[in-house]
């Protein structure tokens, strides 16, 4: 039986449709708010907890946008969940207080710039989730991509 690690994150947007990305202190690429699911915690609870810990805000997270199966030979299989954090109002954005131990900074990024800021599999996942949000339907991914019909 597989025992994948699970992680969950949230996509937040500004009025211009840009997505909020964070610059972790422990990675050499930009990410989204989120982290690993703890024992006894649901993916949605984990995403909410991580947002509060990393950004100091507690917006209500919405629907599931994407589930991504991401096997990794070195780290083991992962199942990654992305939830819709919606559009943040200016007051909430001003209230963001990045956790200094984990984050160097935050920035709203145009979807067209996501791939320039992060690793390819995460960029694919973020862009697929943005598309799923627009289509109002969650998406299943493998390595950030819809699986080919032959793989099903």
The answer to whether residue 93 sits within a structural domain is yes
CA separation for the pair 30, 122 (Å, rounded): 9
- Give residue 74's pLDDT: 84
The answer to whether residue 141 sits within a structural domain is no
pLDDT in tens, 77-110: 999 999 999 999 999 999 999 999 999 999 999 9
The answer to whether residue 136 sits within a structural domain is no
The answer to whether residue 125 sits within a structural domain is no
∠ Cα 131 132 133 (to 5°):
90
The answer to whether residue 135 sits within a structural domain is no
Strands 139-142 and 64-70 come out as parallel
pLDDT in tens, 127-138: 999 999 999 999
pLDDT in tens, 111-123: 999 999 999 999 9
The answer to whether residue 98 sits within a structural domain is yes
CA separation for the pair 142, 25 (Å, rounded): 27
Number of domain units in the chain: 1
pLDDT in tens, 3-48: 899 999 999 999 999 999 999 999 999 999 999 999 999 999 999 9
- Give residue 152's pLDDT: 52
Output helix, strand, coil percentages for the chain, rounded to the nearest 5: 30, 30, 40
Predicted TM-score (pTM) above 0.85: yes
- Give residue 150's pLDDT: 67
The answer to whether residue 143 sits within a structural domain is no
- Give residue 50's pLDDT: 97
CATH number of the domain residue 86 falls in: 3.90.79.10
Domain of residue 15, residue span: 5-60+72-111
């Amino acid at each position: 039986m597989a025992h994948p690690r699970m992680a969950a994150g949230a996509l937040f947007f500004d009025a211009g449709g840009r997505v909020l990305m964070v610059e972790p202190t422990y990675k050499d690429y930009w990410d989204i708010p989120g982290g690993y699911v703890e024992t006894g915690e649901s993916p949605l609870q984990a995403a909410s907890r991580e947002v509060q810990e990393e950004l100091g805000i507690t917006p209500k997270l919405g629907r599931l946008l994407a589930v991504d199966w991401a096997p990794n030979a070195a780290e083991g299989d992962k199942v990654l969940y992305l939830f819709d954090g919606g559009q943040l109002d200016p007051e909430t954005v001003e209230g963001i207080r990045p956790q200094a131990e984990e984050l160097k900074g935050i920035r709203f990024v145009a979807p067209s710039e996501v791939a320039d800021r992060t690793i390819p599999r995460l960029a694919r996942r973020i862009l697929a989730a943005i598309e799923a949000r627009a289509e109002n339907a969650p998406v299943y991914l493998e390595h950030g991509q819809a699986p080919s019909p032959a793989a099903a």
